[in-house]
Amino acid sequence: MTKRELLSKFNNLRREIFDLKKNLNRINEQKEFWFSKKESLKKEISNLIKSLKGLKGTKDKSNQDVQELKKERDKYNKQVQILINQIRTLNKEKQAVVKKYNIKEDPSKIQERIEQIEKQIETEAPSFEKEKKLMKEINQLKKAYGDTKEVKKLFDNSTKLSKEIDIAKKKAEEYHQKLQKEIKSTKNGYNEFIEFSKQITIMKKTQEDAFEEFINFKKKFADINNQLKDKLIEAGRIKEELKKKEQNEEKNKESNKNKELEKEIEKKTIEVENKLKTKKKLTTEDLLVFQHNNK
């Protein structure tokens, strides 16, 4: 291959190498972009999974709280039902005793009236006749109260049961409200849990796509890089050939120059010899030629 052909090929290779480097940089930017995106998504997914685990722990705790609150509410509801059954039975007994003794007044009212009269006697200091009359009323009331002691006991028990029912109902309602609040909170937590799960699924798919893009650009980068290496090797080889050709040209030039010089010296030598034969005057140049031949 001639020097011109080598130079033409070398220049073409330089253009190809420039284009390959430019393309390689572009591919590398794409490769790094998709790698960064994949890693960024990986971190986001990791953070979401941590949050999801935290939500699961909260959700499990909330479910446990719901069960405990249900248990307490049901316990008090059951207690209310038991107490209602007890007071129903007690009311039947109370009605039977009231009927038995023909009681028309609440025993607690009788007791209150006795206490009022006793207080009146103590504070007002009534006359003898009036006090006698009041004492008679007390005795009658006490007799009536004595007959209704059994009923009073039933009334007291009924009142006590009513209070216990109110307390149990209040407790049941308190736990019911807490339960509703916890269920609402659990539902919100569940919705958030589902939303996080969906986000993770979507982001995992996006991460897979990003990784696939990264692999594709990595392969392209490797292919172009190999092409570039081959072109650089070929360019280096041609450059070496051009260097050798230039060295050979220099050698040939030097050789031709020496040959021409030798011819010139030989020509001058003949002229000097002729001058010596004819005894002509020698110039400085002639003397130098003569000395060169006598070395």
| pTM more than 0.75 | no
d(CA 22, CA 27): 9
Confidence of residue 253 (pLDDT cuts 50, 70, 90): confident
The H-or-E segment that residue 23 falls in is helix 3-101
Task: Mark 116-131 as b/e (b = at least 16 C-beta within 10 Å).
Answer: eeeeeeeeeeeeeeee
Could you read off the pLDDT of 4-46 as tens digits, one per residue? 888 888 899 999 999 999 999 999 999 999 999 999 999 999 9
* 239 vs 139, residue with greater confidence: 239
Please state, in angstroms and rounded to a whole number, the distance separating the CA atoms of residues 81 and 78: 5
Q: What is the pLDDT of residue 102?
A: 63
Q: Which residues contact 165 (CB under 8 A, 6 or more apart)?
A: 80, 83, 84, 87
Given a cut of 70, is residue 101 above it in pLDDT? no
Strands (E), the chain: none
With the C-alpha atoms ordered 265, 271, 273, 279, is the resulting torsion angle positive or negative?
Answer: negative
Q: Which domains does the chain possess? A: 19-215 (1.10.287)
